[in-house]
A and B are shown apart, each in its own frame.
Chain A
Amino acid sequence: NAGVTQTPKFQVLKTGQSMTLQCAQDMNHEYMSWYRQDPGMGLRLIHYSVGAGITDQGEVPNGYNVSRSTTEDFPLRLLSAAPSQTSVYFCASIDPGRSDWAFFGQGTRLTVV
């Protein structure tokens, strides 16, 4: 089982550039989410989706957009990258009706210079 797949694993952007972080899951989970992880701050929720066509903001949504056109995919877009967005980004999917577990991708390490 592939589980949750994130691409790319590493990325360097210049300030002002835009890019999309990809996330795909093959577990048919309705709930997907994006987190950023910064040293000493744990995991902070950026955006989440409870199903195709439904998205909502998390704790730190500014500067990011998401869409959910299919159950499998949940891309995260950085509109105009800033150095403050240098972080490690994790995508996760949850099957809340069964186990409440969050399954994580391997992460994308993003550096904005």
Chain B
Amino acid sequence: GQQLNQSPQSMFIQEGEDVSMNCTSSSIFNTWLWYKQDPGEGPVLLIALYKAGELTSNGRLTAQFGITRKDSFLNISASIPSDVGIYFCAGKSRSNYQLIWGAGTKLIIKP
């Protein structure tokens, strides 16, 4: 079935550093979503993207819908301790209710 490649799998960063992660797909999507999961909780939506080339920000987070419609990027600027968690990308095509999920990027901030 469809798969999303999300990278990196994990990141160890210093507080204050910028973070970048991305997802690529073998298929075209009409919607890209980025979620964050805190320990012991369900994923929570961070940013939703609906148009190729779209660049959307949510505070220190910025996500882009790739021009090819097969990729998306999430950047976090000036990371802080509460940014730790697992970040998931998800894509959806117009013809299907189902979301296709990346395997997640685990963000760890070095003390």
Residue A63 at the B interface, CB < 8 A?
A: no
Residue B1 at the A interface, CB < 8 A?
A: yes
Contact B101 A94 (CB under 8 A): no
Contact residues in B for A92 (Cβ distance below 8 Å): 42
Residue B74 at the A interface, CB < 8 A?
A: no
Selected from A4, A48, A94, A107, the residue in CB contact (under 8 A) with B40 is A107
A-B contact pairs, 27 of them (CB 8 A): A31-B97, A33-B98, A40-B9, A41-B103, A42-B6, A42-B101, A42-B102, A42-B103, A43-B43, A43-B88, A58-B98, A59-B1, A90-B43, A94-B97, A96-B92, A99-B48, A100-B48, A100-B92, A101-B33, A102-B33, A102-B43, A103-B45, A104-B42, A104-B44, A105-B42, A106-B42, A107-B42
Q: Which residues of A contact B (CB under 8 A)?
A: 4, 31, 33, 40-43, 45, 48, 50, 58-59, 90, 92, 94, 96, 99-107
